[in-house]
């Protein structure tokens, strides 16, 4: 059953699909996918080509737009858009601390989650494409991890694509997670330096907060154990277009005077716990490093191990001197599964995924080298989340891929840039730019 409804300028239709959990076993267990079809109101009864949007993450449902926000308005000029909640996210069959115990213990949960990587998502797309388009190929727009999925699409099912558009999501084709994070920490350090250059008053504020957290146990109202490392992880904001400003506004109201002395303010704690909690997107924490697994080497908490190679990120050592505290970025650490109540029940499951050594390859080098699908990618110079050098190496490996390298945007350029980013990429795939 489909349900249609309206928002300003658009008609929306809820769609649901049943797909195999394991595409290698199509007669086995199934899960449900949810997607929202969007069409411009004045084109609702017209035939149009389709564009499927793959959200970043992993672990996030598709954007919940109101009307024609961000890039969507540009897309609706010529496409029907399918906003897919990738498996385990949004309104699709959920995978979280409440539902995963239905699988059994940690071993069964970890086995289940091996089916939540890019290869399974692409096979989902191919299965539902035949129903959505009647078999016609469609255009894919992949943001961040959605771009990783798009490169897998070009490797495994290019016949399903009219064109591929990638924003901030050209992955390395062969890097281990260790390589990814060795490249990431210096970029993160540059982003932190840029933040302090913009807001020099935040140097002392950040040191004061970290010192307070190191001095004693702090538990946020939702039960999150707020450690200095957790505070540093708020640096993930610095990868977005407004992130530096958001971090600044968070830090400026951290403390309040009380009858018992100075304390972290309720307002600061409320905002911090909302930013830190993985309750709404636990898959991000569970399979984040697994998206880089392609061989017999375990990821083995790569971001945590590699961080030890960069001692300048150690909060206690920083506070023993007079240097600025460094925030961290898009990294997942084992302590998160101790601090976050939404992740604590899944700690053993996460450990099993980190130890896994049977990951299948995600990219087909030969097929990418022979690619015939028009592909364009926005590569954001010094993107905090995806290494520029890795992206450009992949661009050279994909036949016909055209890049737009820009420092005008951060990682969320497709949102912050409105229609401009999508307009540029479409022009590149059509040899109009």
Place of tokens 């604590």: 344
Q: Tell me the pLDDT tens digit for each residue of 48-97.
A: 999 999 999 999 999 999 989 889 999 999 999 999 999 999 999 999 99
Query: Do residues 169 and 183 share a domain?
Result: no
Predicted TM-score of the model (pTM): 0.97
**β-strands 138-143, 50-54: how paired?**
parallel
Checking if the pLDDT of 8 tops 70, the result is: yes
Query: Do residues 279 and 200 share a domain?
Result: yes
Contact 94, 88 (CB under 8 A): yes
Residue in 144, 172, 233, 277 annotated catalytic:
144
How far apart, in whole angstroms, are the C-alpha atoms of residue 303 and residue 322? 26
Query: Do residues 187 and 314 share a domain?
Result: yes
How far apart, in whole angstroms, are the C-alpha atoms of residue 112 and residue 95? 9
**Tokens of residue 331, six digits:** 């990294």
Query: Do residues 117 and 16 share a domain?
Result: yes
Query: Do residues 393 and 262 share a domain?
Result: no
Identify the domain boundary among 300, 323, 355: 355
Whichever domain contains 64, its CATH number is: 3.40.50.1820
Query: Do residues 243 and 217 share a domain?
Result: yes
**Tokens of residue 249, six digits:** 């506004």
Residue in 115, 281, 390, 411 annotated catalytic:
411
Mean pLDDT of 397-407: 97
Q: Tell me the pLDDT tens digit for each residue of 348-381.
A: 999 999 999 999 999 999 999 999 999 999 999 9
Integer CA distances (angstroms), 83 to 141, 182, 347, in order: 10, 33, 31
Mean pLDDT of 191-212: 98
Query: Do residues 79 and 208 share a domain?
Result: no
| 144 among known catalytic residues | yes
Identify the domain boundary among 355, 378, 410: 355
Q: Which residues contact 69 (CB under 8 A, 6 or more apart)?
A: none
pLDDT of residue 400: 98
Q: Which residues contact 41 (CB under 8 A, 6 or more apart)?
A: 6, 9, 10, 11
Percent of the chain with pLDDT over 90: 97
Q: Which residues contact 406 (CB under 8 A, 6 or more apart)?
A: 378, 379, 380, 381, 413
Query: Do residues 216 and 229 share a domain?
Result: yes
The beta-strand segments (E) located in 200-306 are 255-258, 261-264
Query: Do residues 158 and 12 share a domain?
Result: yes
How far apart, in whole angstroms, are the C-alpha atoms of residue 412 and residue 408? 11
Query: Do residues 170 and 184 share a domain?
Result: no
406 sits in which H/E element: strand 402-406
| 423 among known catalytic residues | no
Three-state SS for 54? strand
In the chain the first and final C-alpha atoms are separated, in Å, by: 42
32 sits in which H/E element: strand 30-40
**Tally of domains within the chain:** 2
Mean pLDDT of 422-429: 97
109, HSE (Cβ side, Cα atoms, 13 Å): 24
pLDDT of residue 67: 87
Mean pLDDT of 310-338: 97
Three-state SS for 170? coil
Distance of CA 149 to the CA centre of its chain: 11
179 sits in which H/E element: helix 177-198
C-beta atoms surrounding 250 within 10 Å: 19
Q: Tell me the pLDDT tens digit for each residue of 12-55.
A: 999 999 999 999 999 999 999 999 999 999 999 999 999 999 99
C-beta atoms surrounding 316 within 10 Å: 11
**Tokens of residue 385, six digits:** 């989340």
Q: Tell me the pLDDT tens digit for each residue of 91-135.
A: 999 999 999 999 999 999 999 999 999 999 999 999 999 999 999
The beta-strand segments (E) located in 107-201 are 138-143, 161-167
pLDDT of residue 156: 98
Contact 63, 31 (CB under 8 A): no
Q: Tell me the pLDDT tens digit for each residue of 267-280.
A: 999 999 999 999 99
Structural domain of 339 = 177-355
**β-strands 50-54, 30-40: how paired?**
unpaired
Beta partners for residue 80, in sequence order: 50
Q: Tell me the pLDDT tens digit for each residue of 301-318.
A: 999 999 999 999 999 999
How far apart, in whole angstroms, are the C-alpha atoms of residue 206 and residue 31? 44
Identify the domain boundary among 355, 374, 394: 355
Query: Do residues 189 and 149 share a domain?
Result: no
Query: Do residues 331 and 188 share a domain?
Result: yes
Q: What is the mean pLDDT of the chain?
A: 97
Q: Tell me the pLDDT tens digit for each residue of 224-243.
A: 999 999 999 999 999 999 99
**β-strands 30-40, 10-20: how paired?**
antiparallel
Residue in 25, 217, 296, 358 annotated catalytic:
358
**Tokens of residue 16, six digits:** 């649901």
pLDDT band at 3 (very low <50, low <70, confident <90, very high): confident
pLDDT of residue 210: 98
pLDDT band at 1 (very low <50, low <70, confident <90, very high): low
Checking if the pLDDT of 187 tops 80, the result is: yes
């Amino acid at each position: 059953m489909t349900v249609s409804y309206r928002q300003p300028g658009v008609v929306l239709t809820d769609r649901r699909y049943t797909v195999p959990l394991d595409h290698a076993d199509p007669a086995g267990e199934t899960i449900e996918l949810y997607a929202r079809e969007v069409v411009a109101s004045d084109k609702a009864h017209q035939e149009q080509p389709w564009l499927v949007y793959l959200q970043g993450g992993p672990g996030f449902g598709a954007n919940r737009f109101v009307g024609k926000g961000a890039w969507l308005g540009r897309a609706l000029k010529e496409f029907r858009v399918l906003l897919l909640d990738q498996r385990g996210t949004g309104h699709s069959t959920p995978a979280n601390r409440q539902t995963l115990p239905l699988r059994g213990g940690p071993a069964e949960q970890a086995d289940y989650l091996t089916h939540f990587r890019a290869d399974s998502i692409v096979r989902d797309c191919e299965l539902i494409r035949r129903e959505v388009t009647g078999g016609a190929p469609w255009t894919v727009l992949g943001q961040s991890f959605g771009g990783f999925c798009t490169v897998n699409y070009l490797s495994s099912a290019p016949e399903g694509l009219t064109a591929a558009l990638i924003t901030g999501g050209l992955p390395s084709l062969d890097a281990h997670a260790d390589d990814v994070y060795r490249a990431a920490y210096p970029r993160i350090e540059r982003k932190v330096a840029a933040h302090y250059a913009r807001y020099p008053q935040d140097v002392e504020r950040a040191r004061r907060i970290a010192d307070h957290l190191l001095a004693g146990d702090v538990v946020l109202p939702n039960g999150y154990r707020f450690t200095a490392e957790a505070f540093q992880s708020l640096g993930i904001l610095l990868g977005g277009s407004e992130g530096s400003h958001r971090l600044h506004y968070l830090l400026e109201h951290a403390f309040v005077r009380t009858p018992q002395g100075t304390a972290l303010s309720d307002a600061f704690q409320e905002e911090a716990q909302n930013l830190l909690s993985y309750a709404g997107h636990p898959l991000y924490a569970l399979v984040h490093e697994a998206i880089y697994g392609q061989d017999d080497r375990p990821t083995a908490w790569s971001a945590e191990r590699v961080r030890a190679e960069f001692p300048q990120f150690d909060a206690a050592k920083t506070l023993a001197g007079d240097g600025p505290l460094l925030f961290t970025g898009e990294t997942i650490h084992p302590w998160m599964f101790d601090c976050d109540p939404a992740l604590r029940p899944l700690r053993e499951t996460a450990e099993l995924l980190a130890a896994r050594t049977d990951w299948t390859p995600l990219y087909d080098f030969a097929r990418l080298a022979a690619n015939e699908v028009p592909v364009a990618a926005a590569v954001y110079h010094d993107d905090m989340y995806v290494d520029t050098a890795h992206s450009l190496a992949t661009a050279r490996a994909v036949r016909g891929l055209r890049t737009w390298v820009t420092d005008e945007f951060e990682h969320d350029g497709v949102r912050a840039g409105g229609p401009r980013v999508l307009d540029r990429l479409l022009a590149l795939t059509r040899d109009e730019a």
